[in-house]
Amino acid sequence: MADQLNDTLLIAEQWQAQGRALALATVIDTWGSAPRPVGSHLIIDSEGNFEGSVSGGCVEGAVVFEAVEAIETGKPKVLEFGVADETAWEVGLSCGGRIRIYVEPVTA
């Protein structure tokens, strides 16, 4: 986990140095069977490019979409995915757990 965190944050630093607009998604809470632990990160640029992981792939498309919106609006948001949420099934979270992800625009 520490290597992934360091790699993701190093990539974020490189992308920011390139002038890319960025958002950082962080797993802030899990319950039950969750694909990634609290503290897992995903860095996203305004074009939808991303590195890291917050869900093992099962909800990352939705997180990327919300992150691009956060970059555009400049406002952070909390996303929640779980088996009781029909949206979670649509994006593939069927592991039986719940995750909450904080998405925030990155400013210099």
pLDDT in tens, 20-71: 999 999 999 988 777 788 999 999 999 999 999 998 777 889 999 999 999 9
Token pair for 44: 């996203």
Domain count, the chain: 1
Give residue 8's domain range.
2-106
Give the torsion sign (CA, 61, 39, 73, 47): negative
Question: What global pTM score does this model have?
Answer: 0.83
Residue tagged 């919106």 (tokens): 69
Report whether 28 contacts 38 (CB < 8 A). yes
Q: How far apart are CA 90 and CA 71, in angstroms?
A: 24
